[in-house]
Structure 1
Amino acid sequence: MLEKLPDVIGHALHDVRAGLDQLVFNTLGLRSGLAAIEVSSLAFVDHAPIPDRYTADGIGHSPPLQWAKVPADVASLVLLVEDADSPTPNPLVHAIVVDLPPQDGGIAEGALASSEHDGTGLHTGRNSYLQSAWLPPDPPPGHGVHRYAFQVFALKPGEAFSETPGRDELVDALRARAVASGLLIGTCERPDGSVKVGKTESVPFGMTPAAG
Structure 2
Amino acid sequence: MNYVPSFVEYGLGRLFRNFRGRDDKLIQRGSAFANCPEPSLTLECPEVGPSGSSLSVKHTAFGEQLFPTLRWPAVTPNIKEYLLIVEDPDAPLPNPITHGLFYSIPATATGVTAQDIELVKGSAVPNLLKGGFKYSPNRGHIYRGPRPPRGHGPHRYWFTLIGMNEALDVKKLSPLAKKEELLVAIQGKVVGWGSWIGVFENE
- Please state which band the TM-score falls in when normalised by the shorter chain: 0.7 to 0.9
Query: 1:199 aligns to what?
Result: none
Equivalent residue in structure 2 for 1:134, among 138, 143, 153: 143
The Cα RMSD (Å) is: 2.5
Q: In the superposition, relative to structure 1, how do residues 87 and 113 fare at CA in structure 2: closer, same or farther (>3 Å)?
A: farther
CA distance in 2, matches of 1:136, 1:8: 23
Contact persistence 1:124–1:132 (CA under 8 A): no
CA distance in 2, matches of 1:186, 1:60: 13
Query: 1:155 aligns to what?
Result: 164
User: Is 1:65 the equivalent of 2:70?
Assistant: yes
Unaligned runs of 5+ in 1: 192-212
Contact persistence 2:74–2:108 (CA under 8 A): no
CA distance in 2, matches of 1:36, 1:73: 13
Please state how far the C-alpha of 1:123 moved relative to its aligned partner. 0.5
**What secondary structure is seen at the aligned counterpart in 2 of 1:103?**
coil
Contact persistence 1:77–1:98 (CA under 8 A): yes
User: Is 1:85 the equivalent of 2:90?
Assistant: yes
Contact persistence 2:32–2:188 (CA under 8 A): no
Query: 2:182 aligns to what?
Result: 170
Contact persistence 1:62–1:111 (CA under 8 A): no
| TM-score calculated relative to the size of structure 1 | 0.78
Query: 1:74 aligns to what?
Result: 79
Please state how far the C-alpha of 1:164 moved relative to its aligned partner. 2.0
CA distance in 1, matches of 2:36, 2:13: 39
Q: CA offsets per residue over residues 41-88 of structure 1, 9 Å max, x none?
A: 122220111122111122111111111264214321000000010111
Contact persistence 2:86–2:158 (CA under 8 A): yes
Task: Using the TM superposition, name which of 91-100 and 44-53 deviates more.
Answer: 44-53
Query: 1:210 aligns to what?
Result: none
Query: 2:60 aligns to what?
Result: 55
Unaligned runs of 5+ in 2: 120-127
Query: 2:109 aligns to what?
Result: 104
Please state how far the C-alpha of 1:159 moved relative to its aligned partner. 2.6
Query: 1:42 aligns to what?
Result: 46
Contact persistence 1:70–1:180 (CA under 8 A): no
Please state how far the C-alpha of 1:112 moved relative to its aligned partner. 2.1
Query: 2:136 aligns to what?
Result: 125
Q: In the superposition, relative to structure 1, how do residues 143 and 185 fare at CA in structure 2: closer, same or farther (>3 Å)?
A: same
User: Is 1:24 the equivalent of 2:34?
Assistant: no
Please state how far the C-alpha of 1:33 moved relative to its aligned partner. 4.4
CA distance in 1, matches of 2:2, 2:35: 36
Please state how far the C-alpha of 1:31 moved relative to its aligned partner. 6.8
CA distance in 2, matches of 1:156, 1:162: 21
| Aligned length in residues | 186
Q: In structure 2, what residue type is equivalent to 1:30?
A: F
